[in-house]
Amino acid sequence: MKSTDIVVELRNVTKKYFYPQGELEVLKGIDLNVKKGDKIAIVGPSGVGKTTLLNIIGTLDCPTSGDIYLFGKRLDYKDEKTLLKLRKEKIGFIFQLHYLIPEFTVIENVILPGIISRWKREDCFKRAYGLLEKLNLSGKENYRPFRLSGGERQKVAIARALFLNPDLLLADEPTGNLDQESAKEVIDIFLKINEELNVTVIMVTHNWELAKKMDRIFLLKNGFLVKLNNT
């Protein structure tokens, strides 16, 4: 495997939280290699550090020790300008809660990354309409989020995450608040994104049906990642 094929590499990554009563070591030595186009699921009980690990990979949090490489470059967590550029240009985030702006319409929510990145307005709308069509949301561009189902709101969040064409998609419990039918639809969307766009997907999930569709499954337990059989 070429080093340029590696999208994410973690080397002995730890994370500690410090409290007046003492310290809590959530991650105790995480090693992980993820190559371009991989689909990775991270499972485990609540509170073991899955979201913390995802946030560290996405540069939203920093490790206590260890080295992290994204797209072949070692991260320097003091270089906030470079980290911000990575988040804007290379990484898409999807959370359990969609975090749509309730006062904005669907289309206004989706184009936000383009507006922030100073795209031309017409290019923003062209991109957003195309994404919404792919996600079967045509005709709902001017709806506000409260008029949408839970599954539809999550699809809008996915469209927003894909807006800038990320190479890496990080999803934290993307089906956690959805009914079974909506969850299945969202699962199919992730598989389609991965296959058609070759986007690398790292996902934290409690949904075993979703996890089994990934290339590799890791259990986060006692601060370490353990590879599971996904058959």
In this prediction, residues 106-126 reach a mean pLDDT of: 93
In this prediction, residues 154-175 reach a mean pLDDT of: 91
53: pLDDT strictly greater than 60? yes
Helix ranges restricted to H, the chain: 50-57, 80-89, 106-110, 112-116, 121-134, 150-162, 180-197, 208-211
pLDDT score of 231: 59
How does the average pLDDT of the chain come out, rounded? 90
Residue 176 included in any domain: yes
- Model pLDDT for residues 59-105, shown as the tens digit of each residue: 999 999 999 999 999 999 889 999 998 988 899 998 877 789 999 99
- Model pLDDT for residues 1-25, shown as the tens digit of each residue: 444 589 999 999 999 999 998 899 9
229: pLDDT strictly greater than 80? no
Number of other CB atoms surrounding residue 160 within 10 Å: 24
**Which residues constitute the domain of residue 205?**
38-61+86-228
Distance of alpha carbon 9 from alpha carbon 167, whole angstroms: 15
Residue 214 included in any domain: yes
Q: Hunting for tokens 């795209």 — which residue is that?
A: 119
Residue 218 included in any domain: yes
Residue 20 included in any domain: no
Q: Which two tokens stand for residue 185?
A: 């639809």
pLDDT score of 1: 45
- Model pLDDT for residues 144-161, shown as the tens digit of each residue: 999 998 889 989 999 999
Tell me whether strands 216-221 and 39-43 are parallel, antiparallel or unpaired. parallel
Distance of alpha carbon 59 from alpha carbon 170, whole angstroms: 11
Residue 81 included in any domain: no
Distance of alpha carbon 35 from alpha carbon 48, whole angstroms: 25
Residue 11 included in any domain: no
How many domains does the chain fold into? Answer: 1
Distance of alpha carbon 223 from alpha carbon 162, whole angstroms: 31
Check residue 95 and report its DSSP letter.
-
CATH at residue 103 = 3.40.50.300
CB burial of residue 86 (10 Å; 0-12, 13-18, 19+): buried
In this prediction, residues 173-201 reach a mean pLDDT of: 87
Q: Dihedral sign, CA of 76, 169, 164, 156?
A: negative
Percentages of the chain per state (helix, strand, coil), in multiples of 5: 35, 30, 35
In this prediction, residues 47-64 reach a mean pLDDT of: 94
Q: What is the pTM of this model?
A: 0.89
Phi, psi of 230 (to 5 degrees): -100, 20
- Residue predicted with more confidence, 182 or 31: 31
Residue 210 included in any domain: yes
- Residue predicted with more confidence, 40 or 190: 40
Distance of alpha carbon 147 from alpha carbon 158, whole angstroms: 17
